[in-house]
Amino acid sequence: MVASIPSPSSNAIDLWIIELHAYGIMIAIGVIAAVWLAGRRLEAAGAGTREQMSSIAMWGVVAGIIGARAYYVITDPSDPWRRPGDWLKIWQGGLGIPGGLALGIAVGAYAARRRQVAVGALLTAVAPAIPLAQAIGRWGNWFNQELFGRPTTLPWGLEIDPSRIPSVYRDIPDVLFHPTFLYESLWNLLLCGALIAVERIWTLRSGRLLALYVAGYSVGRFLIEELRIDSARDSGGLRLNQWVALVAFVGAAAVLLRDRLRTQPAAQP
């Protein structure tokens, strides 16, 4: 191997009386970064305070984790819903972003209303903060050595412990895999920056920046899913998450297109 990305030897940090799982640590860091960015944006827009954002985030994040875990438990082909004892073991991986976004945003919007924060302003504030959290949180998959892509000879191929390599690839010497966690992390980081740039160039209706995030994330997720080799429910030649990404993209694009048509001046007779 001329070059490659090594995987961590362990996914946990042992602190004598407690063991911290890197997967959870990366998610926590991502949440902290997202709340910081969203709070600054909400305050800069004059729509609320950082304290209000922190309070809203507390509800949104908890709901997001519940929604993400429920999505995984319901949709994973290993049928984890049959094992109630495993439902809460999120440190082992198993969070479905579509479920987390759906429930987290819904509960966050409700919490914003309760705190007299305009929902549209909240959605605009969190739009680039969500992919920032995802960009950081995806590194938890690296620590868990999970959700990698098919074999590759590219110099940034990912090394995987032999015990975690699917049996069909174990006979390939020095096999490396696409680091799909890295691809999605970089895509989300670029998306975060792009959303902030778009906001400075174009004027969008309140809350529509979130629709632009959904459309952008869906494109990246659809393409990256094509590389992944972990088991997943599929239909019509596409993985479940690709179908979800397609539906989300169409919905977000329809919202943005409708706004575009509404703002165009009426044709003169």
* pLDDT tens, position by position, 29-54: 999 999 999 999 999 999 999 999 99
Q: Which helix (H) or strand (E) holds 112?
A: helix 97-114
d(CA 178, CA 230): 12
Q: pLDDT confidence of 267, banded at 50, 70, 90?
A: very low
Work out whether strand 18-21 and strand 12-15 pair parallel, antiparallel, or are unpaired: antiparallel
The encoded tokens of residue 252 equal 């977000």
**What are the sequence ranges of the domains in the chain?**
20-147+158-163+177-198
CB 72 within 8 A of CB 103: no
Q: Which amino acid does the sequence have at 157?
A: G
End-to-end CA distance of the chain: 69
CB 121 within 8 A of CB 206: yes
Write phi, then psi, for 235 (nearest 5 degrees).
-160, 140
Instruction: Look up the pTM and report it.
Output: 0.89
d(CA 249, CA 258): 14
- pLDDT for the residue 165: 94
CB 176 within 8 A of CB 159: yes
Q: Which residue has the tokens 């549209």?
A: 120
Count, residues in the chain: 269
d(CA 3, CA 192): 29
pLDDT tens-digit map of 72-130: 888 888 777 667 776 677 666 678 899 999 999 999 999 999 999 999 999 999 999 99
pLDDT tens-digit map of 178-187: 999 999 999 9
Each as own residue / partner, the long-range contacts of residues 196-200 (CB below 8 Å, 24 or more positions apart, any chain) are 196/128, 199/124
d(CA 67, CA 98): 8
Q: Which residue has the tokens 């938890």?
A: 140
- Alpha carbon 101 to chain centroid distance? 8
SS3 13: strand
